[in-house]
Amino acid sequence: MQYTIKINSLKAVDELENAWKDSDYTILLKLFGYAEAEQINKNEIKDYLYMAIADYEPNEAAALVLEYKLSEELVEGQIDNLSHEMTREKVSENYSDIFLHQALFNVNQLLYKAYNGKFPLTKATIINFEIQGDEATEISKEIAVQALSAGLSSSNLLHRLLEDQLQGKTAFPEAEGIIWNLQSKGNGTYVITTSEKWIKKEDFKEMQFEASVTSYEEEVDVD
């Protein structure tokens, strides 16, 4: 399938909209020992949470937030290890399970802002782009990554690690973890959110380009 892609805008952000709700802040405040959390004005609750977090050692605070956010995905030992690793490594980029990267990004940035540092600064990339094909096709995360990769330099990490997947030679489940959010804005315009680890503005050779996308088709054994 042939596509024409035009990048309308690209920006780096250090937090994602609606990553945390006021109800999350209230629950976290209670976990950090503030029993009267529900009485705090909603306009001030984030600041109160930051102050409560800062009273703890960084790894202790990380463990509490990780437990709240990822207790269904991680066991106690994994949470303990991550709570220490987070203070020195970008776990939202390096953790082995790519499907947890978005949640780890949100945890990391909450802690980074609460401590005004002490945790590595990580960023996400938001790309607004137009994609037009020679026939109507629903744009999935897999197609979006494959199409956008055509405009990226050969040194980009996607090309270095996932070239077979980008070319449709093998299955590409990683696309679901690479693109954190895919929104259709209508008329062939989409917005994606991903980690800066995968795509940065300087990775694009040009802002308008052609892409040839081949979907992986699993071979079926015929008896």
User: What does the pLDDT average to over 23-47?
Assistant: 91
pLDDT in tens, 112-149: 999 998 999 999 999 999 999 877 688 999 999 999 99
pLDDT of residue 221: 55
* Nearest CA-CA partner of 25 in 2, 42, 3: 42
Contact present, 85 and 98 (Cβ < 8 Å):
no
The pLDDT of residue 94: 94
216 pLDDT band (50/70/90 cuts)?
confident
pLDDT value, residue 99: 97
How far apart, in Å, are the Cα atoms of 142 and each of 146, 148, 170? 6, 10, 12
Reference 111, options 101, 97, 121, 102; nearest CA is 121
Q: What pLDDT, on the 0 to 100 scale, is given for residue 223?
A: 52
d(CA 107, CA 160): 28
Tell whether the model's pLDDT for residue 211 goes beyond 60.
yes
What is the arithmetic mean of pLDDT over 166-171? Answer: 94
The model's pLDDT over 46-93, given as tens digits with 9 standing for 90+, comes to: 999 999 999 999 999 999 999 999 999 999 999 999 999 999 999 999
Torsion of CA 69, 16, 62, 197, to 10 degrees: 110
Q: Which residue's entry shows tokens 């093998």?
A: 170
Model confidence pTM above 0.75: yes
* Mean pLDDT score across all residues of the chain: 93
Residue 137: its pLDDT value, please? 80
pLDDT above 90 covers a percentage of the chain that reads: 87
Structural contact between residues 73 and 99, judged by C-beta atoms closer than 8 angstroms: no
Question: Could you tell me which residues come within 8 angstroms of residue 25 by beta carbon, excluding any fewer than 6 positions away?
Answer: 37, 45, 46, 48, 49
Question: What local confidence, expressed as pLDDT, does residue 219 receive?
Answer: 62
